[in-house]
Amino acid sequence: MKFPIAAAVAALLACAGCVRVVVHGDPAAVAAEGGHSLRIATYNTSLYSDEDGGLIRRLHGDDPAARKIAAVLQKVRPDLVLLNEFDYDDAHRAADLFQRRYLEAAQPGGGEALRYPYRYLAPVNTGVPSGLDLDGNGKIGGAGRERGNDAWGYGLHPGQYGMLVLSRYPIDAQAVRTFQKLPWSALPDAARPVDPASRRFHYSDAVWKRLRLSSKSHWDVPVRTPLGTVHFLASHPTPPVFDGPEDRNGARNADEIRLWREYVSPGDKPWLCDDRGRCGGLAGDALFAIAGDLNNDPVDGDGRHEAIVELLEHPRVLRYATPRSEGAAAVAAAYAATGVHHRGSSAHATGDFGPKAGTLRLDYVLPSVGFALQDSGVFWPAESDTDAAIADGSDHHLVWVDVAR
């Protein structure tokens, strides 16, 4: 093992990562690059509560995790970012509080106060009662987890684990497309779960016809940036676990990821209808960036890995070196010492999911062809880095990509 060389390379990468975060948005740096750049990010913030209104109450106080999340955003300063696991409320009170009390106040370890003039949030399927027996236990609804299992997407109250888009640039709200209610059965060759013992479909025909594909929602949010209109394709597929031998969540996760492949692929798609009744996929010349906690690692952990691999290798998705961090590699090395080994590159992981699962790459920013990649990274500093003090607000870490044209 050539440890001194590996250590030197890791130190160089870590130092470069620190510089990139600090200088983003510096007008002199942008001018030197010869034009505009755009930093796009995704961050599963874990800003949720098991109680309806719980996140609002948290943010009304002095929430340590929210302060760390805000500090990371202030440090990285993305122009456009998707926050996963940010509870939705109809009055947008949680979003208001997070912006005003956390982002717009300089946080310890963060950078200067950060203001996003534009945002998009909307209802999601999590916690919304379906009126159906989705978990097959012979009952509809109930209390606690049983109630959550029979919601359109697992959740203990409507809006739990929601999504929030924040942007420095104007959002074309009238052109937003949402696919919250798209039936899973509408997807051609949908992976309808089958019980391997009985060889019967897990969902009856009546349930299957009504069951929604998206566990939260799928959004196409057009943003007017200096690089042109960018379609920000946001989602958070269900984890491919917490089910039975029928693998209903694994199948759903794969098809939620596949929806974006269908959306950006050519061809007539009369089945692909949004919540306002407009049908078809994304225009072939449109710029886009797919973002979110997609809950699927290309080689490790649970899930149907071909789903994420096929999205990464889609001809309209820009090929670029996988974002990495020094912190991820160090944590994976510690797990390896206890017998937890993975096949994928340890530096590519975006979250730490405990001693059983270890570290995994679940969070993605995938720009389209038509962009030129400038840089990318995962905000996961080494434990010895002072920035590590703000990096543990969530079990996921922010992923960012800098693009130009």
Of 268 and 23, the one with more pLDDT:
268
User: pLDDT, tens digit, for every residue of 156-213?
Assistant: 999 999 999 999 999 999 999 999 999 999 999 999 999 999 999 999 999 999 999 9
Task: Say what the pLDDT of residue 133 is.
Answer: 93
User: pLDDT, tens digit, for every residue of 42-75?
Assistant: 999 999 999 999 999 999 999 999 999 999 999 9
3 state SS for the chain? CCHHHHHHHHHHHHHHHHHHHHHCCCHHHHHHHCCCCEEEEEEEEEECCCCCCHHHHHHHCCCHHHHHHHHHHHHHCCCEEEEEEECCCCCCHHHHHHHHHHHCCCCCCCCCCCCCCEEECCCCCECCECCCCCCCCCCCCCCHHHHHHCECECCCCCCCCCEEEEECCCECHHHCEECCCCEHHHCCCCCCCEECCCCEECCCHHHHHHCECCCCCEEEEEEEECCEEEEEEEECCCCCCCCCCCCHHHHHHHHHHHHHHHHHCCCCCCCCECCCCCECCCCCCCEEEEEEECCCCCCCCCCCHHHHHHHHCCCCECCCCCCCCHHHHHHHHHHHCCCCCCCCCHHHCCEECHHHHCEECCEEEEEEECEEEEEEEECCCCCCCHHHHHCCCCCECCEEEEEEC
Q: Is residue 118 part of a domain?
A: yes
Residue 31 — very low, low, confident or very high, per pLDDT cuts 50/70/90? Answer: very low
**pLDDT greater than 50 at residue 215:** yes
Q: Is residue 152 part of a domain?
A: no
Q: Is residue 70 part of a domain?
A: yes
User: pLDDT, tens digit, for every residue of 306-354?
Assistant: 999 999 999 999 999 999 999 999 999 999 999 988 999 999 999 999 9
**pLDDT greater than 50 at residue 4:** no
Domain that holds residue 334: 3-124+159-404
- The count of structural domains within the chain is 1
Chain mean pLDDT for the chain: 92
* 180-191 core/surface letters (b: 16 or more CB in 10 A; e: else): bebebbbbeebb
Task: Say what the pLDDT of residue 27 is.
Answer: 37
Q: Is residue 249 part of a domain?
A: yes
Q: Is residue 146 part of a domain?
A: no
Find the range with the poorest average confidence among 5-19, 78-92, 96-110, 226-240.
5-19
Task: Say what the pLDDT of residue 270 is.
Answer: 97
Task: Say what the pLDDT of residue 15 is.
Answer: 41
Q: Is residue 377 part of a domain?
A: yes
Q: What is the mean pLDDT of residues 356-368?
A: 97
> In whole angstroms, what is the distance from residue 67 CA to residue 362 CA?
23
User: pLDDT, tens digit, for every residue of 125-145?
Assistant: 999 999 999 988 889 988 889
> In whole angstroms, what is the distance from residue 100 CA to residue 92 CA?
12
Q: What is the mean pLDDT of residues 371-396?
A: 97
User: pLDDT, tens digit, for every residue of 237-270?
Assistant: 999 999 999 999 999 999 999 999 999 999 999 9
CATH of the domain at 15: 3.60.10.10
Q: What is the mean pLDDT of residues 84-98?
A: 98
Q: Is residue 149 part of a domain?
A: no
Q: Is residue 380 part of a domain?
A: yes
Task: Say what the pLDDT of residue 137 is.
Answer: 87
Tell me the sheet residues that pair with 220: 177, 233
